[in-house]
Amino acid sequence: MQKDSTISLRIDAKLKSDVEKILDDLGIPMTTAITMYFSQIRINNGLPFTPSLPAKPKYYEDYSKDELVKICEDGAEEYYGKKTVSSNYAEKMMKEKMKRGL
């Protein structure tokens, strides 16, 4: 594909620097990354992802009494149903797996 068009834009310096580092680590030049993005827009006939806002954090005060009771009951059910393990056990298992290269 012949490259005969130029794009000029202004972008936040920190964002550019952060993205450049990531792309450098991946071995992808900035121009290639932008070309890939544009190609995906064309293939998808739109953005290659669904734009959304991050979920608003829900604080303790935001929960109703019934919701808190349900959360506690679910936690107890997981614990007593042996669906959970202690953090010490999880750490021990991870160390063993890492030693074996899994």
User: What digits encode the pLDDT tens for the residues 34-66?
Assistant: 999 999 999 999 999 999 988 888 888 888 999
Q: How far is it, in rounded angstroms, from Cα 85 to Cα 89?
A: 6
> What is the span of the domain harbouring residue 95?
60-100
Chain-centroid distance, C-alpha 100: 28
Say yes or no: 64 and 95 in one domain. Answer: yes
Q: Per the domain annotation, does 31 fall within a domain?
A: yes
68 and 96 in a single domain? The answer is yes
pLDDT at 102 over 70: no
- One-letter amino acid at 33 equals A
| 41, 47 Cβ separation under 8 angstroms | yes
| Cβ 35 vs Cβ 5: under 8 Å | no
Dist CA 19 CA 12 (whole Å): 11
On whether the pTM is more than 0.85, the answer is: no
Number of domains making up the chain? 2
